[in-house]
Amino acid sequence: MAQTASDLTPDAATEIAEALNQAVAETVVTTMLAQNYHWNVTGMSFGPLHELFQQIYEDHFVGQDDLAERIRAIGEIAEGKLAGHLDRSKVQEGDETASDKEMIRHLAEAQETIGATLAGLSEVAAKHGDIRTEDLAIERGRIHDKFAWMLRAHLR
C-alpha cells in the first residue's frame, strides 16, 4: 500500500492522474455551466436558483483546485487548458437561453456524471493503495450527490 504520494509507482501515478484529470475536466465544465446558469436564470424561482447555482460554482471552483493539486502532489501534470477540459469532459456546455427547468435538469445530470467519474477515480486509487486520492474522490462524490439531490428536488 502506498503510504505517501512518492510511494506510488510511475504507472500507478499516471493511471490515477488520468482519472483525476477526467474529474477536473468535468468539474471545470460544470463550474462554468453553473455560473452561466447563475447569470442567466429567469422565472418565478430566480432567487433560490440564482443562489443555488452560485453555491455550486463556488464549491466546484475549490473542488477543481483540490483535484488538480492532487495530480501535482503525485508528480503528474494537471490539464490546464479549457479546450482540453472541453474535449475530455462528458459534461457538455449549456445554453444560456434554456428554461429554468432545463438548467436544473442539465446541472443535475452534470452532478451525476461527475459523481460517477469520482466513483471510478476512487476505485483506481484504491487499486493502487492511494488512500488520500480515494478519500478526496469519496468526499467530492458526496458533495456532488448532495447537489444532484438538491437540484432534482426542484423538478418534483
**Per-residue pLDDT reduced to its tens digit, 20-60:** 999 999 999 999 999 999 999 999 999 999 999 999 999 99
Residue the block writes with cell 436564470: 41
Cβ pair 26, 116 in contact under 8 A: no
Which helix (H) or strand (E) segment holds residue 132: the answer is: helix 131-154
- pTM more than 0.85: yes
- How wide is the angle at C-alpha 143 spanned by C-alphas 19 and 22, nearest 5°? 15
Per-residue pLDDT averaged across 136-149, rounded?
A: 98
Structural domains of the chain sorted by starting position, each given as residue range(s) with its CATH number in brackets? 14-154 (1.20.1260.10)
Number of C-beta neighbours around residue 81 at 10 A: 8
Cβ pair 89, 116 in contact under 8 A: no
pLDDT for residue 3 is more than 70: no
From residue 80, give the alpha-carbon distance in Å to each of 31, 65, 105, 113: 15, 11, 28, 21
**Interatomic CA distance for residues 107 and 104, integer angstroms:** 5
The amino acid at residue 22 is: Q
Q: How confident is the model at residue 2 (pLDDT cuts 50, 70, 90)?
A: low
For 127, the grid coordinates are: 487499486
